[in-house]
């Protein structure tokens, strides 16, 4: 009976440390963030930190995993030829980015090893760019990477400019550019 309470408390404590790290990443690079700074910002004791993590980079990786897991995925059979389905899936993805703008801005630029951006790139390649591209060919891999890198570059700019166009308009641009590259 104590288990759900403990789990909730652990989740809350970890959330506090992750939020503290995000706040600190807005101000400085990960390599300059200490365990002490995270603990002070999260209002937790160092021993609590070490109960779950050994260093700040582990908090960052768990935070990245949390966000990647929360990203709404398109249907497994999404086809770039089906404009309506593609637009709906991408609009949902872009709405999620917009709702979590601060975290995405920090994670896309704050990860020194680029792991979040690289994992997001792979997710986009694997789940969002499908259709006539044979996944087994090198050419298809390069096309997927080209489209996904372009979409992430556009995404960074969209976030940096504080979303000057709607998710739907952004999804439309990504769709049009993707179709042109594939053709």
Which residues 6+ apart lie within 8 Å of 87 measured at CB? Answer: 168, 171, 172, 175
Nearest Cα residue to 97 out of 11, 155, 140, 24? 155
pLDDT in tens, the chain (183 residues): 445 556 889 999 999 999 999 999 999 999 999 999 999 999 999 999 999 999 999 999 999 999 899 988 877 666 666 777 778 888 888 999 999 998 898 888 755 667 888 888 888 887 777 655 566 678 888 888 898 899 999 999 999 999 999 999 998 998 888 888 877
**Run of H or E residues at 13:** helix 2-25
Entry pTM: 0.80
């Amino acid at each position: 009976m104590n288990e759900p309470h403990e789990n909730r408390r652990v989740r809350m404590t970890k959330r506090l440390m992750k939020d503290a790290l995000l706040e600190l990443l807005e101000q400085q690079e990960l390599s300059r963030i200490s365990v002490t700074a995270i603990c002070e910002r999260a209002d937790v004791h160092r021993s609590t930190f070490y109960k779950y993590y050994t260093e700040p980079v582990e908090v960052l990786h768990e935070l990245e995993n949390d966000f990647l897991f929360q990203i709404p995925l398109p249907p497994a059979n999404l086809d770039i030829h089906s404009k309506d389905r593609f637009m709906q899936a991408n609009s949902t993805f872009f709405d999620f980015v917009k709702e979590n703008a601060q975290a995405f801005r920090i994670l896309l630029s704050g990860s020194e090893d680029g792991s979040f951006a690289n994992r997001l790139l792979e997710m986009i390649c694997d789940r969002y760019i499908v259709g006539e591209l044979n996944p087994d060919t090198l050419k298809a891999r390069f096309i997927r990477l080209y489209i996904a890198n372009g979409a992430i570059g556009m995404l960074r700019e969209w976030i940096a400019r504080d979303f000057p166009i709607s998710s739907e308009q952004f999804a439309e641009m990504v769709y049009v550019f993707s179709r042109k590259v594939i053709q």
